[in-house]
């Protein structure tokens, strides 16, 4: 007769009780770190393994520890080797070290609305707003909301209540995931007065649409597509000369012009050209946290800030901390990546490939083309360099720890280093070696 180590009939009795497992020192420490719910789930998974006779009853603690999540937060840090600098699916801009430190410091109690010298209330987030004004002296005033969509919403609510927003048919943009700027604006009750055509709109089209019901003229940067060929759209200065306030959604959050992106609009130029208000995202080319920036004339920003909806769209202390560190601190990772030369990237790729080839990996160094991403500069090709691996690496690296996300091109898995921080090269190399 064959004998199981744990006879089936007794199996239920042999499963260690949850309370006993939770009382073990290592498990108690895990509860401190992760919370009771996540640890209990791991205990119950381990108990199930005992019931199925896959482990012995005395293996329950070890199995529980092995089954615990890494942290109480299920978001995994990943290495973005896609070559897309602003990848919305990968959390857009990674924060700079200075911004990460700022977030950590602001996470507890902080003087966000408190004057420590006077012991009284003070305006919220003054430091971040001052930092932005310093970085963008063309703006008489600035305001910060949850994201650029919120910035546009606030403009529509405060500057065109029940009125018309004049906008070109060529700029009725879908931001992504099915969300469309015209729908967002119409949801406020404002009426969109569309002018021109998909490919061409003239300043006269706008002028003819402006009347007593006009709230403002809106110019939206088509940041995620290109219309080429027989096209034209008036410059900001021409629109600013019309008899209605002009709101410019520049999208990507470049505060000043960037030589690598000659066609990408920036806040300073739009304000100099006469825009009443500029709106932008903070987590695209600015390289900061998710936020919407509003910059412009004092009276316009005042109206935005005092609108009741402003309270519903305001940002938290973590965002303000990260934003201030981004605009005041050392250059953030996305703008730094934009400035890196191809030679520098090739040098880094060669170092990674050398290590991998020595370890027996079939790796090559190749030139590649990186992109800013849906967040701006459509069609701009950033010269880059990549580690080329057999295609099967794409999936195993995604499932690795940390996950590395590359892109598959021409049957190869490319790890494009323009979107990888130099500090992560080692991590990326180790991740590839782990599969060899
Ligand atoms: C990205 C983008 C938006 C949306 O910005 P969020 O910060 O994601 O809300 C709006 N307009 C333009 C032109 C954009 O590029």
Q: How far does the centroid of ligand 1 lie from the alpha carbon of residue 149, in Å?
A: 6
Domain contains 406: yes
The reply to whether 348 and 212 lie within a common domain is no
- Ligand 1 centre and the CA of 126: distance in Å? 24
- pLDDT at residue 376, as a whole number: 76
> Is-contact 253 285, C-beta < 8 A?
yes
Question: Could you tell me the distance, in angstroms and rounded to a whole number, from the CA of residue 410 to the centre of ligand 1?
Answer: 31
Residue 220 corresponds to which tokens in the numbers above?
């939206």
Nearest protein CA to atom 14 of ligand 1, as residue = 251
pLDDT at 2 over 50: no
User: What is the total residue count of the chain?
Assistant: 436
Q: Which atom of ligand 1 is nearest to the CA of 292?
A: 7
Give the predicted TM-score (pTM) of the model: 0.92
User: Distance, CA 176 to ligand 1 centroid (Å)?
Assistant: 9
Residue 145 sits at φ, ψ, to 5 deg, of: -125, -175
Atom of ligand 1 nearest to the CA of 249: 13
CA 148 – ligand 1 centroid, Å: 5
Angle ∠(233,234,240) on CA atoms, nearest 5: 145
Angle at which helices 342-358 and 425-433 pack, to 10 degrees? 30
CB atoms inside a 10 Å sphere around CB 315 = 22
List pLDDT tens digits, range 69-119: 999 999 999 999 999 999 999 999 999 999 999 999 999 999 999 999 999
Show which of 304, 330, 356 is a domain's final residue: 330
Mean pLDDT of the chain: 94
Question: Domain boundary at 303, 330, 357, which?
Answer: 330
> Is 71 contained in some domain?
no
Q: What pLDDT is recorded for position 266? A: 97
Model pLDDT, residue 272: 98
The number of the ligand 1 atom at minimal distance from the alpha carbon of 221 is: 13
Q: Is the pLDDT of residue 432 over 60?
A: yes
308-319 average pLDDT score? 98
- Specify whether 30 is located in the same domain as 155: no
pLDDT at 4: 45
Same domain, 403 and 313: no
Answer yes or no: is pLDDT of 5 > 60.
no
Residue 402 forms part of a structural domain: yes
| pLDDT in the model for residue 223 | 81
Q: Which residues contact 136 (CB under 8 A, 6 or more apart)?
A: 142, 255, 256, 267, 268, 271, 295
Q: Which domain holds residue 363?
A: 79-88+336-433
Considering the domain architecture, whether residues 251 and 326 belong to the same structural domain is answered as yes
**What pLDDT does residue 396 have?**
97
pLDDT at 303 over 70: yes
CATH of the domain at 225: 3.40.640.10
pLDDT digits (tens, 9 = 90+) for 314-359: 999 999 999 999 999 999 999 999 999 999 999 999 999 999 999 9
Does 9 score more than 60 pLDDT?
no
Minimum-distance ligand 1 atom for the alpha carbon of 151: 9
- Same domain membership, residue 281 and residue 148: yes
Is 6 domain-assigned? no
- Ligand 1: atom nearest CA of 92 is 8
For ligand 1, pick from 92, 172, 223 the residue to mutate: most ligand atoms within 8 Å of CB.
223
Tell which of 330, 351, 368 closes a domain: 330
100 and 60 in one domain? no
Q: Give the pLDDT score at 8.
A: 54
**Which residue would you say has higher pLDDT here, 422 or 2?**
422
CA distance linking residue 72 with residue 36, whole number of Å: 10
b/e burial code for range 193-232 (CB count within 10 A of at least 16 → b)? bbbbeeeebbbebbbebbeeebbbbbbbbebbeeeeeeee
Total domains present in the chain: 3
pLDDT confidence bin for 25, thresholds 50/70/90: very high
Same domain assignment for residues 103 and 216: yes
The two three-digit tokens of residue 317, written as one number: 């202390």
161 with 230, same domain: the answer is yes
What pLDDT digit, counting tens, does each position of 219-269 carry?
999 888 777 888 889 999 999 999 999 999 999 999 999 999 999 999 999
The answer as to whether 2 is a domain residue is no
Pocket residue to mutate for ligand 1, from 86, 154, 175, most atoms within 8 A of Cβ: 175
d(CA 207, CA 195): 10
For ligand 1, the distance from its centroid to the CA atom of residue 271, given in whole angstroms, is 18
Residues with CB under 6 A from ligand 1: 147-149, 173, 175, 220-221, 223, 249, 251, 281, 292, 375
368 and 267, same domain (yes or no): no
**Distance of CA 103 from the midpoint of ligand 1 (Å):** 23
Task: Look at residue 3 and tell me whether its pLDDT is greater than 50.
Answer: no
**CATH at 392:** 3.90.1150.180
Q: In this structure, are 107 and 177 located in the same domain?
A: yes
The whole-number pLDDT of residue 248 equals 98
Asked if residue 74 belongs to a domain, the reply is: no
Q: Model confidence over 143-184: pLDDT tens digits? A: 999 999 999 999 999 999 999 999 999 999 888 888 899 999
Query: Are 199 and 307 contained in the same domain?
Result: yes
Q: Which atom of ligand 1 is nearest to the CA of 376?
A: 15
How many angstroms does the Cα of residue 18 sit away from the middle of ligand 1? Answer: 49
Q: What is the pLDDT of residue 226?
A: 78
Comparing CA positions, the residue from 38, 46, 41 lying closest to residue 16 is 46
188 Cα to the center of ligand 1, angstroms: 17
Ligand 1, atom 2, lies closest to the CA of: 251
Judge contact between 323 and 144, C-beta under 8 A. Answer: yes
Please indicate, yes or no, if residue 72 is contained in any of the structural domains: no
- Backbone phi, psi, residue 263, to 5°: -95, 0
Q: What is the pLDDT of residues 398-428, one digit of tens each?
A: 999 999 999 999 999 999 999 999 999 999 9
Residue 351 domain-assigned (yes or no): yes
Higher local confidence (pLDDT), 39 or 176: 39
Q: Whose CA is nearest to atom 6 of ligand 1?
A: 148
**What residues contact residue 396 under an 8 Å CB cut-off, 6+ apart?**
435
Residues 276 and 364 in one domain: no
Task: Assess whether pLDDT exceeds 60 at residue 31.
Answer: yes
pLDDT at 175: 84
* Ligand 1 centroid distance, CA of 278 (Å): 12
């Amino acid at each position: 007769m064959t004998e199981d180590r744990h006879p089936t009939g007794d199996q239920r009795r042999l499963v260690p009780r949850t309370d006993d497992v939770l009382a073990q020192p290592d498990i108690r420490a895990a509860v401190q770190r992760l919370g009771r719910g996540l640890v209990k789930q791991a205990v119950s998974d381990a108990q199930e393994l005992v019931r199925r006779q896959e482990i012995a009853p005395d293996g329950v603690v070890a199995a529980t520890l092995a089954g615990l999540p890494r942290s109480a937060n299920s978001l995994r840090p990943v290495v973005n080797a896609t070559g897309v600098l602003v990848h919305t699916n990968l959390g857009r801009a990674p924060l700079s070290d200075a911004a990460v430190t700022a977030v950590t410091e602001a996470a507890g109690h902080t003087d966000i609305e408190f004057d420590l010298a006077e012991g009284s209330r003070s305006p919220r987030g003054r430091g971040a707003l001052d930092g932005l004004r310093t970085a963008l002296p063309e703006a008489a005033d600035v305001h910060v909301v949850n994201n650029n969509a919120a910035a546009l919403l606030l403009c529509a609510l405060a500057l065109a209540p029940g009125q018309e927003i004049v906008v070109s048919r060529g700029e009725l943009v879908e931001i992504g995931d099915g969300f469309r700027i015209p729908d967002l604006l119409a949801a406020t009750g404002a009426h969109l007065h569309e002018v021109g055509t998909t490919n061409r709109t003239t300043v006269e089209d706008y002028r003819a649409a402006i009347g007593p019901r006009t709230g403002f003229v809106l110019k939206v940067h088509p940041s995620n597509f290109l219309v080429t060929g027989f096209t034209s759209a008036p410059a900001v200065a021409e629109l600013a000369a019309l008899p209605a306030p002009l709101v410019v959604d520049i999208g990507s959050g470049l505060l000043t012009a960037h030589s690598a992106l000659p066609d990408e609009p920036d806040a300073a130029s739009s304000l100099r050209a006469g825009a009443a208000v500029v709106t932008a995202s903070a987590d695209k080319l600015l390289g900061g946290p998710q936020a919407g920036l509003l910059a412009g004339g004092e009276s316009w920003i005042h109206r935005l800030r005092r609108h009741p909806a402003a309270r519903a769209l305001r940002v938290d202390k973590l965002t303000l901390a990260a934003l201030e560190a981004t605009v005041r601190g050392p250059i953030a990772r996305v703008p730094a990546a934009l400035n890196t030369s191809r030679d520098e990237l090739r040098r880094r790729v060669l170092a990674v490939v050398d290590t991998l080839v020595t370890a027996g990996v079939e790796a090559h160094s190749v030139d590649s083309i990186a992109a800013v991403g849906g967040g701006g500069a459509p069609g701009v090709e950033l010269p880059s360099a990549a580690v080329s691996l057999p295609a099967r690496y794409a999936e195993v690296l995604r499932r690795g720890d940390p996950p590395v996300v590359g892109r598959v091109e021409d049957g190869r898995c490319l790890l494009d280093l323009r979107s990888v921080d130099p500090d992560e090269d080692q991590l990326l190399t180790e991740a590839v070696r782990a599969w060899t």
